[in-house]
Amino acid sequence: MRKLIAFVLLAFASLNTTTAQTALKEYKAGHVFFVSLPEYMTKTGGINSSATIQFKNVVKDVAGFIIEDNKEELKLVEMNYTSLTEFYDDFIKDFLKEEQKRVVSTPISKKVGTANIIECDVTYYDAETKTDIYYYVGIVETSSVYYKVICWASLENKQKFKSDFQKIAASIRD
């Protein structure tokens, strides 16, 4: 009899804890997007703490990452960009600005599928390694997000990897 009473009390207790007084509304949290990387690249970590995905190849001495900026979240902090160009201009003005011999190419705009892309090349001289470094900067705009695709290699390997970096940016879809 004690077991029956304990079971009934347990059943009533669990009914009370699973019933909310107010109806709940479901929200989607986080953002899922898809990107294609060259087979020689592998996912990694430790490159940029703000990045959603990071990738590299130590042997080929190339690496990159993607940072996503949700348009709704930008508006919440009063960063209201009216265009992809405005977002790009705001980002590129400070990108590597302290580096020696920094050169930023003229940006190129294009459309890939439903995404808009602005891309440019940035180079600078790294005094520590005594090497010229090449960065591909691609800003990809979808309906709800700006993606910053940042990839790099030595300047001497620019032509070898630039088309792969462009393909990474063009592959983004959400």
Q: What is the pLDDT of residue 155?
A: 97
When the pLDDT of each residue in the chain is averaged and rounded to a whole number, the result is 89
**Mean pLDDT, range 3-17, rounded to an integer:** 51
**Burial code of 151-167, b = ≥16 C-beta within 10 A, e = fewer?**
bbbbbeebeebbebbbe
pLDDT value at residue 23: 77
pLDDT value at 146 more than 70: yes
Please give the Cα distance from 19 to 45 (Å, whole number): 42
Nearest to 46 by CA among 58, 37, 38: 58
Band (pLDDT 50/70/90 cuts) for residue 61 is: very high
83 pLDDT tier (thresholds 50, 70, 90) = very high
Average pLDDT over residues 138-147: 96
Structure tokens at 166: 């462009």
